[in-house]
Amino acid sequence: MCGICGWIDFDRDLGNPDPRRELAGMTATMAYRGPDDEGTWIDGPAALGHRRLAIIDIQGGRQPMTLQEDGRPPLVLVYTGETYNYRELRQRLAALGHRFGTNSDTEVVLHAHREWGNRDPCAAVSELNGMFAYALWDTAKRELLLIRDRLGIKPLYYYPTEHGVLFGSEPKAILANSLVERAMDAHGLRRILCSIADPYNTVFRGMREVRPGHIVRVTRDGIKQMSYWQLTDSGHTDDVPTTVRRVRELLDDTVQRQLVADVPLCTLLSGGLDSSAMTALAARFSDERIRSFAVDFVGYTDNFTPDPSRPTPDGPYVHDVAKFLGTDHTDITLSADELMNQNVRAATLHARDLPLTSGNIDSSLYLLFRAIGQHSTVALSGEAADELFGGYSSFHDLAQVQADTFPWIEGSDDIVRRCLDPGLVEKLDLPGYLDEQYRRALAEVPALTGPASADPHERRMREVCYLFLTRYLPRLLDRKDRMSMALGLEVRVPYCDHRLVEYVFGTPWAHKSFDRREKSLLRAATADLLPLSVVQRVKSAIPAIQDPTYGRMLRTRFTALLNDRNAAVAPLLSVDRSRVLLDATDNLRAIERILALQDFLTDYNVSLTV
SS (H, E, C) 394-410: HHCCHHHHHCCCCCCCC
Q: Using CA atoms, how far apart are residues 218 and 146, in angstroms rounded to an integer?
A: 8
Cβ atoms of residues 170 and 3 within 8 Å? yes
> Quick one: which H or E segment has residue 6?
strand 2-9
Q: Using CA atoms, how far apart are residues 533 and 309, in angstroms rounded to an integer?
A: 18
SS (H, E, C) 10-34: CCCCCCCHHHHHHHHHHHHCCCCCC
Residue among 29, 4, 30, 34 at smallest CA distance from 488: 34
Question: Which residue(s) pair with 76 in the sheet?
Answer: 66, 137
Strands (E), 113-243: 130-138, 143-148, 157-161, 164-168, 183-185, 208-209, 214-219, 222-227
287: Cβ contacts below 8 Å, ≥ 6 apart: none
Of residues 2, 266, 465, 496, which has the active-site annotation?
Answer: 2
Cβ atoms of residues 117 and 124 within 8 Å? yes
Strands 378-380 and 328-334: unpaired
**Hey, what amino acid is at 419?**
C
Q: How many CB atoms sit inside 10 A of residue 442's CB?
A: 12
Q: Using CA atoms, how far apart are residues 600 and 597, in angstroms rounded to an integer?
A: 5
Catalytic residue check, 2? yes
Q: Using CA atoms, how far apart are residues 505 and 543, in angstroms rounded to an integer?
A: 27
Q: Using CA atoms, how far apart are residues 324 and 318, in angstroms rounded to an integer?
A: 10
Q: How many CB atoms sit inside 10 A of residue 413's CB?
A: 20
Just list the catalytic residues: 2
